[in-house]
A and B are shown apart, each in its own frame.
Chain A
Amino acid sequence: MTTPSTTAKHPSGDNRFKLLDRAITKHQSRGDALIEVLHAAQGIFGYLENDLLVYVARKLKLPMSRVYGVATFYHFFNMKPMGTHTFVLCTGTACYVKGAALIQKAVEHECKCKFGETTPDGNVSLVSARCVGSCGLAPVAVLDNQVAGKLNPESAVTRIKEWQKQPEEVAA
């Protein structure tokens, strides 16, 4: 076995690790840049699986417990793959007052899964956010990174139905 140099390819042959290495080098492999590196890793891979955390721990010369601890502490990091589409419902106070709970119920009923889960077909992930800061437009949801304001249960379900339709249309 040869000792891996910084330019060596990851054994899996996955080129995405190159991107991650670049992000790590940008922070001079400093341990205190762990959160920044995890942000980069999630941006590249979509979610943080255990192997990836081990990789980050080795690169930053940190104990695995520390990396795992940080990754699980913060809500922003996902340990499971996300669906093709994400529906982030804001549950901030303004949205709560304006009836976000009704939207939550309607959407959960439509997707047949709870918030924090992904539909079995891997199409839609339901996520709840504490506040997305667009309180003037409450109730708000972020649909695939697009903020949608002044929703009601019907319009929210319609948007999800559009997502569920799309794959069939493509197939047809």
Chain B
Amino acid sequence: MTLEELREVADNERARHEKFKHRILYCAAAGCVSSGSVAVRDTLKATLKENGLENEVEVLGTGCMGLCGEGPLVKVFSDETLYQHVDETVARRIVEEHLCQGKKVQENLVDVSDPFFSAQQKIVLQNCGRINAESIDEYIAVGGYEALAKAVTEMQAPDVVEEIRKSGLRGRGGAGYPTGLKWGIVRKVKSDQKYVVCNADEGDPGAFMDRSVLEGDPHRILEGMAIAGYAIGANQGFIYIRAEYPLAIDRLKLAIKQAERMGLLGNRIFESQFNFRIDLRIGAGAFVCGEETALIRSIEGKRGRPRPRPPYPAERGLWGMPTLINNVETYANIAPILANGSAWFAGIGTPKSTGTKVFALAGEIKNTGLIEVPMGIPLRKIIFDIGGGTTEGTEFKAAQTGGPSGGCIPKEHLDLPVDYESLATVGSIMGSGGLIVMNSTSKMVDVAKYFMDFCVDESCGKCIPCRVGTVHIHTLLEKISRGEGTADDLALLEELCVMVKETSLCGLGQSAPNPVLSTLRFFRHEYEELLKAREGFVPSGNGHEPVGSDAQGIR
């Protein structure tokens, strides 16, 4: 395959699209499939046939269209009309009224001028919900694999690394390590064999960004990994993906096969000396395998237990060889950066956190689904403009980011810009992008207990602070939530949290106390209200007037 041949494929595909009068896209991501989008597809096709339109209108399945809570979603592409809650009756009406008579089905129309759509900026999700995820031709038609061609044929490997470094891209898995720096380190290590690994072990409960990208635009990840392989001098890549995502696994398998058939993966890519292959490795349900050293063990077919770093995987990773590990979303940013230049990317977001971030909005919020916003956007804008605020009749209490490693952000900090540093100042983390909104029905002690229960279960058991500490924290939280805790228990809880945080071996243990610490910081009164009333005990208040606890103490 040469660049000219690639462009020919793109031209042919675009010409094929123009032959159709309309293209109807239905969301074929896991969310909409479970609300019945497959039946919608069948009805659309059958109705088109009844009206003799089957050769004029193409029906195709795409990746996530974003508004997951309102599915199944259907888009008529000729005029970008988006329909929500489409069932078989509505599907029939779309064909008969919209396509045949030019009258839109008003009841199910989605207002695309709503901030949910207009306040977003899409780079990673550019193709999600717009192209058929199972067709490599469609990906090529929107400029896919051009960035790989440019890297392999026009650029030297160090220049690719430099371009990524200049873009300011930081790891989207949560920690925010500068991607260009990491690539540079792996590139400089001398070794006959290096590996590129994509971490698709999206274990945070409440996060589904990576799944949506893999299901909606799998070739983007393959292209990003191949560019990484070229930049660091690796010829083998692995995608480590959760077994819980069967649809994403199928789409990736298909995508790899298609890319190999076209010569975009394999030997002599774009007729250069560069060879690159990608294999899938399926996880088996262990949260700790999202930690890079545990993930490496798991790829090697062992129990996923982390090991102390250094040496970092960049020096000694998979089978002892230098290994580059990045998150799905990080790889998804690579091709656009090379195609549009690092200056374009660095101009988006804030100077220290460039680009965009994908968030999965869920919980007690009106618009649940997948969004992508520029870094530095205030949290308030995400929740109240894009998310439409909390569900009917409830009041916002806290937003949880970073899953079991993150924290809860109260309403005092709603104007906080969303970037790596700002979130850290309030004791939370960017995390992989799960954003869960809680209202007044959520009790913060129970929330902390919920996350600690998760960590107790998922601790691999290798180091003692995490294995034993999390259990003790959980026991204390149980005691407090039963109303049997004392002020001493609360003090012990805090001490334990700090100890587990400081002495655990890997990221799981080091961040496990975060939900407890952050709820203690902002919702301490909720803990204190539950403490056993004891004479002489004065709640600290923490800016909130504790309700009830004082009165009980006096009685």
B-binding residues in A (CB < 8 A): 30-36, 38-39, 66, 69-70, 73-77, 91-98, 129-138, 140, 146-149
Contacts and interface: CB of A to CB of B under 8 A. Distances in A.
A135 B304 CA distance: 26
Given A32-B300, A75-B285, A97-B436, A136 B205 contact: no
B282 A133 contact: no
Nearest to A134: B31
Given A95-B205, A131-B204, 13 more contacts: A32-B301, A73-B460, A76-B285, A93-B450, A93-B451, A96-B205, A97-B442, A133-B207, A135-B68, A135-B208, A135-B363, A135-B368, A136-B31
A150 B222 CA distance: 34
Interface string B11-36: 00000000000000000001101110
A73 B35 CA distance: 34
18 contacts: A31-B301, A32-B300, A35-B282, A39-B282, A73-B460, A93-B436, A97-B363, A97-B364, A130-B287, A133-B211, A133-B245, A134-B31, A134-B208, A136-B69, A136-B362, A138-B362, A147-B30, A147-B34
A136 B68 contact: yes
A119 B225 CA distance: 46
B71 A136 contact: yes
B369 A136 contact: yes
Given A70-B303, A137-B34, A93 B400 contact: yes
B281 interface: yes
Contact of A38 (B202, B284, B434, B454): B284
B281 A93 contact: no
B389 interface: no
B286 interface: yes
B285 A66 contact: no
B446 to A, nearest CB: 9
B34 A39 contact: no
A36 B281 contact: yes
B163 interface: no
B465 interface: no
Contact of A69 (B205, B244, B298, B303): B303
B360 interface: yes
A73 B202 CA distance: 18
B216 interface: no
Given A94-B206, A97-B442, A131-B207, A36 B282 contact: yes
B298 to A, nearest CB: 7
Nearest to B30: A134
A133 B436 contact: no
A39 B363 contact: no
B231 interface: no
Contacts of B208: 131, 133-135
Contacts of A134: 30-31, 34, 68, 208
Given A77-B284, A137-B68, A130 B31 contact: no
Contacts of B442: 97
B497 interface: no
Nearest to B298: A35
A133 B30 CA distance: 8
A70 B289 CA distance: 13
Contacts of B451: 93
Contacts of A95: 205
Given A33-B301, A70-B303, A92 B205 contact: yes
Interface in B455-490: 458, 460
B55 to A, nearest CB: 33
B248 to A, nearest CB: 9
Nearest to A149: B34
Contacts of A92: 205-206
B555 interface: no
A134 B362 CA distance: 9
Interface string B214-255: 000000000000000000000000000001110000000000
B285 A74 contact: yes
Nearest to B460: A73
Contacts of B136: none
B403 interface: yes
B243 A76 contact: yes
B239 to A, nearest CB: 13
Nearest to A42: B284
A129 B246 CA distance: 14
A147 B301 contact: no
Contacts of B286: 73-75
